[in-house]
Amino acid sequence: DPGRVYRRLLGYARPHLGMFGIGVLGMALFAATDSALAYLVKVFLGGAFVDPDPRVLWLVPVGSIVLFTLRGIGDYVSNYFPGWVGRQIIKALRAELFAHYLRLPTRYHDASASGQMLSRLTYNVELVAEATTSAVTVLIRDTLTIVGLLGMLFWFNWQLAAFALTLAPLISWLIQHINRSFRRYSARIQASMGDVTRVAKEALDAHRVIKVFNAERHEEQAFGAVNELNRHSNMQLIGAKALANPVVQLIASIGL
């Protein structure tokens, strides 16, 4: 259950809620500037082309500088402070996993590939912990942005806003389907990265044996196979990410 996993991971962020709260303020500032930008464009178009007003020629450049300064501050704060929390989570997870490895019975170490264990400690922890803060950051910042823009749209034209919302269920279903694909491909990438680490570590640890039996070609082929699987898994994830935005935008354009 992804929800249960995320709730468990968010428990690691609980000691750092203050720092994350500062990041949330930055997200709110960033989202507010999106709505303000829409309003500024409306004022500029109306005051420069529809009903020319000399005051707008001064208002727009000054407003743009102020707006993008605030936007930059919000963007920085919304990335830096959640990123700080994310690194704290990674540190805690790695420490717990390493301590767990030290206390595992010898039979477990004998039966498990050390490369896979190292991959979990170095690579998998990185991905999982980053997903914790990244998902929450995107959820909060995008939600605030959507609320602000919808409020602005209802203010400008409530009929168009109401019609646009009829597309929400379809887009929501599509995003859920894409997210499931992301999780599936990410799991494959983590497994394939473990194989890459395992094969590389075995070859490096046994370099004397490889030279004695002239097995360099065999090891190259073994590494090439797991390396190709990792590349293929990453390309599936890249393809899904590349397809997501165009499809959502196409649905939105049909509604428009």
pLDDT at 86 over 80: yes
Rounded-to-integer distance, Cα 65 and Cα 75, Å: 15
- Global pTM reads 0.72
What's the pLDDT score for residue 128? 77
pLDDT band (50, 70, 90) for residue 221:
very high
pLDDT band (50, 70, 90) for residue 220:
very high
* pLDDT, tens only, 1-24: 667 777 887 888 889 999 999 999
Of 161, 159, 18, nearest to 82 (Cα)? 18
What's the pLDDT score for residue 49? 66
pLDDT at 243 over 70: yes
The alpha-helical segments, DSSP class H, found in 46-157 are: 54-103, 106-111, 114-119, 125-156
What's the pLDDT score for residue 245? 79
User: Between 251 and 132, where is the model more confident?
Assistant: 251
What's the pLDDT score for residue 231? 94
CA distances from 25 to 9, 85, 129 (A): 22, 15, 22
**236 near 185, Cβ under 8 Å?**
yes
Phi-psi sector, 72: left (phi>0), alpha (psi -120 to 50), beta: alpha
What's the pLDDT score for residue 171? 82
Would you call 53 helix, strand, or coil by DSSP?
coil
| Percentage of the chain lying above the pLDDT 70 cut | 97
What's the pLDDT score for residue 225? 94
Q: How many CB atoms lie within 10 A of CB 66?
A: 13
* pLDDT, tens only, 156-194: 888 888 877 888 888 888 888 888 888 888 888 888 988
Over range 186-209, report the average pLDDT.
Answer: 88
- State the Cα angle at 185 between 75 and 10, rounded to 5°: 50
Over range 91-95, report the average pLDDT.
Answer: 91
* pLDDT, tens only, 50-85: 677 777 777 778 888 899 999 999 999 999 999 999
**206 near 25, Cβ under 8 Å?**
no
Helices (H) and strands (E) in the chain — how many of each? 10, 0
